[in-house]
Amino acid sequence: MNTQPNASASIISTAGLAPLLTVLIWSGNVVVTKASAGLISPGSISFYRWLLAFVVLLPFVGRAAWRNRALLREHWLKLAILGALGMVIYQSLAYEAAKTTSAVNMGVMLALMPLLSTFFASLLAGERLSVSSIAGGAISLIGLVYLTSQGDLMRLVNGGLHIGDGLMIIAVLSNALYGVMLRRWAMPMPMWQQLFWQIGFSTLLLLPVFLMGEISPVTTSNLPLILYAAIPTSLVAPLCWMIGIQQLGASRTSLLINLLPIVVAALAWVLIGEQLHAYHAIGGALALLGVGIGLRKAPTAAEEASFEADETGWEAEEA
Q: Is 171 left (phi over 0), alpha (psi -120 to 50) or beta?
A: alpha
Enter the DSSP assignment of 5.
Answer: H
- The mean-pLDDT minimum among 16-25, 95-104, 239-248, 251-260 falls in 251-260
Whole-number Å distance between alpha carbons of 231 and 253: 22
Is 147 among the domain residues? yes
Domain of 217?
A: 19-316
Question: Which percentage of the chain shows pLDDT scores above 70?
Answer: 78
Is the pLDDT at 93 greater than 80, yes or no?
Answer: yes
- Please enumerate in sequence order all residues whose Cβ is within 8 A of that of 291, keeping only pairs 6 or more positions apart, or say none: 111, 112, 114, 115, 136, 140, 258
Which of 58-62, 148-152, 166-170, 192-196 has maximum average pLDDT?
Answer: 58-62
Cβ atoms of 310 and 179 closer than 8 Å: yes
Find the mean pLDDT for residues 28-36. 90
How does residue 41 score in pLDDT terms, banded at 50, 70 and 90?
very high
Q: Considering the domain boundaries, does residue 153 fall inside one?
A: yes
pLDDT digits (tens, 9 = 90+) for 220-267: 999 999 999 999 998 888 888 777 766 766 556 666 776 777 788 888
In a domain, 2, yes or no: no
Domain contains 24 = yes
Angle in degrees, 0-180, between the axes of helices 17-36 and 237-248, rounded to the nearest 10: 150
Tell me what the mean pLDDT of segment 75-87 comes to.
93
Instruction: Identify which has the larger pLDDT, 201 or 262.
Output: 201
Is 5 inside any structural domain?
A: no
Q: For the chain, how many structural domains are there in total?
A: 1
Residue 245 lies in a domain: yes
With respect to residue 13, please indicate whether it lies within any of the assigned structural domains. Answer: no
Instruction: Tell me the per-residue pLDDT of 264-318, one tens digit each, with 9 for 90 and over.
Output: 888 888 888 877 778 777 877 887 777 677 656 544 454 455 545 444 444 444 4
